[in-house]
């Protein structure tokens, strides 16, 4: 499955103040999510950002241009406002990052698959509070046939060639 900028969008799931510091590798995770987010912005890939019950979990920890969509459903694709945003983007492929791997990411993946979308999970840009939950969710998603990859793999696959107009800008971002 080849990633093409015109056919995909990024879904940033619930990276909020009160939970983010409790997930495994939070500092590195924020670096990877930031890199993925900025890379997608450089490539003009649409972005949807969600917040799980922001009254309780706080605001998004990443500086984003998009207004985060508040939700209570664990699956982004089951929340009416987020589902509407996903449909509005009119993209078949959804690149997922955020937290928690075993709850909102996994349930979103299952819902996207059910709705006919193709989710791609960026494993160095997702996490959970404990390793067993995180690793078992990756295993379950692989068993569902979901592509599991990394931030740099996604970004370089999107540009395909060092002659791409945004290669230098993306390359500086990655270094």
Calpha distance 139→5 (Å, rounded): 27
Domain boundaries, the chain: 5-174
pLDDT of residue 175: 84
Considering the four listed CATH numbers 3.40.50.1370, 3.40.50.850, 2.120.10.30, 3.40.640.10, the one that applies to the domain covering 5-174 is: 3.40.50.850
pLDDT tens track for 110-130: 999 999 999 999 999 999 999
pLDDT of residue 60: 97
The pLDDT of residue 1 is above 90? no
Among 8, 40, 97, 104, which one carries the catalytic annotation? 104
Report the predicted TM-score, pTM, of the whole model to 2 decimal places: 0.97
pLDDT of residue 12: 98
Q: 12 and 47 in contact (C-beta within 8 Å)?
A: yes
pLDDT of residue 48: 98
- The gap between the terminal CA atoms of the chain, to the nearest Å, is 27
The pLDDT of residue 157 is above 80? yes
Among 71, 83, 91, 110, which one carries the catalytic annotation? 71
Query: Does the annotation mark 40 as catalytic?
Result: no
The pLDDT of residue 2 is above 90? no
pLDDT of residue 159: 95
pLDDT of residue 93: 98
pLDDT tens track for 60-113: 999 999 999 999 999 999 999 999 999 999 999 999 999 999 999 999 999 999
pLDDT of residue 74: 97
pLDDT of residue 131: 98
Write phi, then psi, for 19 (nearest 5 degrees): -110, -30
Among 8, 14, 76, 83, which one carries the catalytic annotation? 14
Query: Does the annotation mark 161 as catalytic?
Result: no
For 160, what's the count of Cα atoms within 13 Å in the CB-facing half-sphere?
4
Instruction: Output the average pLDDT for the chain.
Output: 96
């Amino acid at each position: 499955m080849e990633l093409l900028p015109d056919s995909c969008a990024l879904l940033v799931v619930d990276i909020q103040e009160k939970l983010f510091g409790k997930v495994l590798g939070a500092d590195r995770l924020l670096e990877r999510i930031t890199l993925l987010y900025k890379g997608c912005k450089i490539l003009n890939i649409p972005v949807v950002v969600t917040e799980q019950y922001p009254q309780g979990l706080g605001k998004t920890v990443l500086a984003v241009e998009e207004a985060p969509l508040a939700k209570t459903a664990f699956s982004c694709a089951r929340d009416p406002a987020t589902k509407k945003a996903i449909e509005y983007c009119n993209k078949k492929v959804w690149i997922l990052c955020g937290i928690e791997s075993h709850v909102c990411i996994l349930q979103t993946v299952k819902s996207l698959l059910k709705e006919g979308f193709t989710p791609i999970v960026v494993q160095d840009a997702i996490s959970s509070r404990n390793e067993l939950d995180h690793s078992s969710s990756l295993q379950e998603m692989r068993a569902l046939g979901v592509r599991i990859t990394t931030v740099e793999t996604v970004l370089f696959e999107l540009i395909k060639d060092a002659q791409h107009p945004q290669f230098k800008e993306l390359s500086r971002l990655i270094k």
